[in-house]
Amino acid sequence: MKYTDGLESERLTTRFLTEDDIPVFLEYFEDPVNCRFMSIPDHLSNLKRSEIFINFQMKRYSENRLGLQAIITKDTGAFAGTCGLLVQEVDGVTEIEVGYHYLRRFWGKGYATEAAQLFRDYGFEHYDVPHLVSMINPANEPSKKVAHRNGMSLVKED
C-alpha cells in the first residue's frame, strides 16, 4: 500500500514534508520546551536540527517507511506541526507508530488529537496491523494524553 498525503479532518489537512519546511519547522527547535524530548543532539544549530528532522522524514517516504507529514490548519493554512505513521523496530518486532510534534503556539487546540486520530484510522484502514503504537518519553505528559485520547494504553515502560 502506497503511503499518501492529502488526508483531511474537520480542521486539518496533511501533506508530505519538503525542504521548504526546514525554515518553518525551525520554530519548533527554537523553543526548548517544544523539543525537550527530541533525540536530535542539541549541540547542533537549530537550523541543522530542523534540516535533519525534515530530511529524515523525506528519506522515510522514499524508503517506504512511511513518515511524519505536515499538519496544516484549514482555516488559516498555517503549519501547525507534524503527525503521521512511522515504521519502527520495537523489541525486534516491526511496529507502526503514530507520531507527532507540534509548534507550541498550536498546543491546547486539539490539533494533536485530531491528527493522531486521523492517522490512527488511516493506519487501520490501509495496513494489516492488529494495533498501532506511540513511543513516548515517560515524562512527556502532553503526548501521553494525546495517545490516551487516541485510544491507546500503556503497554510497557523502559
Check residue 150 and give its pLDDT: 75
Domain count for the chain: 1
DSSP H or E stretch at residue 138: none
Inside any domain, residue 139: yes
Residue 82, CA atoms < 13 Å, CB-side half-sphere: 27
Mean pLDDT, residues 49-72: 97
When pLDDT is cut at 50, 70 and 90, the band that residue 116 belongs to is: very high
Inside any domain, residue 22: yes
Inside any domain, residue 120: yes
Q: What is the pTM of this model?
A: 0.91
CATH number of the domain enclosing 106: 3.40.630.30
Q: Which residues does residue 149 pair with via DSSP β-bridges, in sequence order?
A: none
When pLDDT is cut at 50, 70 and 90, the band that residue 1 belongs to is: low
Inside any domain, residue 121: yes
Burial class (CB in 10 A: 0-12, 13-18, 19+), 49: buried
Inside any domain, residue 7: no
Q: What is the mean pLDDT of the chain?
A: 92
Inside any domain, residue 155: no
The answer on pLDDT for 103 being more than 90 is: yes
Burial class (CB in 10 A: 0-12, 13-18, 19+), 16: middle
75: Cβ–Cβ under 8 A, 6 or more apart, which residues?
11
Residue 47 is part of which domain span? 12-149
